[in-house]
Every structure is written in C-alpha cells, then in structure tokens.
Amino acid sequence: MRTYLVTGGAGFIGSNYIHYMFRKYGGQIRIINADALTYAGNLENLKEVEGRTNYTFVKADVCDQEAIRQIFAGNEIDRVVHFAAESHVDRSIRTPETFVRTNVLGTAVMLNCAKAAWELPDGSFRAGKKFLHVSTDEVYGSLQETGYFYETTPYDPHSPYSASKAGSDMLVRAYIDTYGFPANITNCSNNYGPYQFPEKFIPLLINNALSGKKLPVYGDGRNVRDWLYVEDHAKAIDLIQEEGRLFETYNVGGHNEKQNIEIVRIILDTLREMLPEDDPRKALLSEDLITYVEDRKGHDRRYAIAPDKIQAQIGWKPETMFREGIRRTIRWYFEHEDWMKRVTGGEYRTYYQEMYGA
C-alpha cells in the first residue's frame, strides 16, 4: 500500500486533494495528513474520511523538524505532496515574516527530512519516492493584456507572499540540481471550490452577497485572474505524480480568465438563478453591494497560465469551465451554511472587520 504524506491537508486545496484521492483509490493507498491547524486549517473539512483505517491525522508544523522527522521515521513514506503554506496576499503585506517562516523554512524542513529518509549511501534515492511541491502562478509576476505564463517564464514576484513562494520553489530546484532529489514543482492558477476559507475572493463574495453585505473590489475591478476548479487541480497533481517526468515543473491552469468585477457579477447572477423565489435573500442581491476599495499594494494586473506542457506530456487539461464550477461551488456553500458560520467566527471575524470595515 503506497503511503502519501500530505502537508496542509486540512486546508482548502489539501482537503479537496485528500477527498479526491480516496474517491479514486479507496483502500489502495494510505494518507498521512500533517497540518498545524492554523486559522485556515479545519479538520471539519475531512469529517468524511477521518474514520478510515488508511487515513491518519498528525498535528504538526512543517517548520518543526523533529515532528516531521518522526513522521518519516515511523512510516514508509512513498509520496510527499507539500501544500502547507501561508497563501493570502493581504496577510503577507501585514506580516511578511510569517510567510517567510512557513513557506521558505517549512519547505526546507520538508526537503531535508525527505532527503534524509530516502537517500541511499551512494547519494542516489530509493526507487519510487517522489516529492511534489505545490506553488502558485504569482511567482511569475504580472502580465499585460496578452501573453501567458510558461514554465520558462522568469520569476518576478511582487508581494511578500509570492516572493516567499518563489523562494520555496528555488529551494526545491536547488535540491533537484544539487542532489538529484526526486521532486516536481507545480505552479497553479487561482483555485476555487468547496471548503475554501472565506477570506479568499469567491467565498467572501458568496458569503457577503447572501448576507446583504458589501462586495469589496480592489481598484477598478479589472484585474484578471485565471480560475481553476479545485478538483481539476487535484487530478493534475495525481497525474503528475503517476506519469510526470521527475525534476520537471508543470504549470496547471484553468483557461478561465476573468476580470474581478466580472466574477462579482457572475456570482450575483448565479445566486439569483439558484435561490428559490421565496428566499428572502434573493432581494438582497443587488449590484449596489459592489464597493470599490483602495487597490492592494503591488497588485498584479493579470495572471494567465499556459498548461500546454502538462497537456502534451501527461494528457491533463481542465475539465470544469467557470460557470459550471461556480454553480457547483455555490451549491456546496448552500449545503454547508453551518460550516461557513463556524469558520467565519473568532479570529477571522476580527480580521475581516479590520480589513473590510464590515
């Protein structure tokens, strides 16, 4: 039975990946989920799998070398999928040192522990071991109105978040080049879907619209992002680990470019379509809620991923177009309104009020 160590598996993308892997492989694999359970990590995301005999949760910070070393020492780890990261740009502008610690130091710890567990006396690595580092398209910087990010695009990060992820990517590349370490890097576009923490753009809009709260939009609202449905991302990660070429970087994009203001209007329209006629929240869904706020510092204008390489080498391509994906996402939030209420309490509520004045 192949054993996967998933870091940050209680977060948004990590929990969706774990659900997808169990749906696909069932009892053929074992997953160990190591997560520090910071504000965005939530074990409630994994209620459906917590009783499985082939699933184990370990509360561990990726910066804690001894805790990570013990996981490797006590288990035959075949695959590492390294999601654990601080990922919210606004937070990185306020507390950049937190992002450097988790994203750079945490990746160094993971690499060191995996290397120590997998390396043979002659400096080669045990057969079948693979480390996949999950990164972001933000490391490439900003595009103009045309063009795409390719795996060969030079790095040009513009926020503490993207700079810390660029640093972690470079560490993985250094281990590949120096040690022949068996790793891959993925750089993905903006994810959306179930279990996403509501400080992020799409769940924030859904939650606010249903509550009649203002819908904050940075600047002129014309910043463009490429949106990737999270299950499509999970499929890509699995395929890369099974069929990807070792040492390669793969861009994982959704071919769903949208301006931020367009996203707001699509969500409002979709909520109007999906809410029953007698639901009082339907009357709240007005474009008057759209509120333009001061632009984010260093705000990149446009991201767009070219997933040509992963499609050519592995055969992956995004399956979910945005309007279908947003309907699935909204339907999930309708079915999990209690989840939303629970995760928007406490620290998040204080932070949200401070950030958006609501």
Q: In CATH terms, is domain 2-192+228-255+298-320 a member of 3.40.50.720?
A: yes
Contacts of 52 (CB under 8 A, 6+ apart): 22
- Specify whether the CB–CB gap between 253 and 307 falls below 8 A: yes
161 catalytic? Reply is yes
Beta partners for residue 229, in sequence order: 192
Go through the chain and tell me how many residues it has: 358
Starting at the earlier edge strand, list the strands of the sheet with 183-188. Answer: 55-59, 29-35, 2-7, 79-82, 130-136, 183-188, 249-252
Identity of residue 174: A
- From 35, 138, 257, 300, the catalytic residue: 138
The pLDDT value given to residue 298: 82
287 catalytic? Reply is no
- From 161, 175, 195, 303, the catalytic residue: 161
Question: What is the rounded distance in angstroms from the CA atom of residue 21 to the CA atom of residue 23?
Answer: 5
Beta partners for residue 67, in sequence order: none
b/e per residue 125-152 (b: at least 16 CB within 10 A) = beeebbbbbbbbbbbbbbbeeeebbebe
Question: What is the rounded distance in angstroms from the CA atom of residue 58 to the CA atom of residue 35?
Answer: 7
- Per-residue CA distances from 306 to 66, 70, 166, 192 (Å): 39, 39, 18, 18
The pLDDT value given to residue 352: 47
Question: DSSP string of 49-115?
Answer: TTT-TTEEEEE--TT-HHHHHHHHHHS---EEEE------HHHHHH-HHHHIIIIIIHHHHHHHHHH
Q: DSSP code of 302?
A: B
- From 61, 137, 169, 257, the catalytic residue: 137
Question: What is the rounded distance in angstroms from the CA atom of residue 217 to the CA atom of residue 290?
Answer: 7
The pLDDT value given to residue 297: 87
Long-range contacts of range 26-29, CB-CB < 8 Å, 24 or more positions apart? 27/1, 27/54, 28/1, 28/2, 29/1, 29/2, 29/3, 29/4, 29/54
The pLDDT value given to residue 347: 55
**Most distant CA atoms of the chain, gap in Å:** 70
Instruction: Supply angle C-alpha 133, 135, 141, rounded to 5.
Output: 150
pTM assigned to the model: 0.94
The pLDDT value given to residue 125: 98
The pLDDT value given to residue 173: 98
Give the residue ranges of the chain where pLDDT is below 70.
346-358
50 catalytic? Reply is no
Beta partners for residue 5, in sequence order: 32, 80
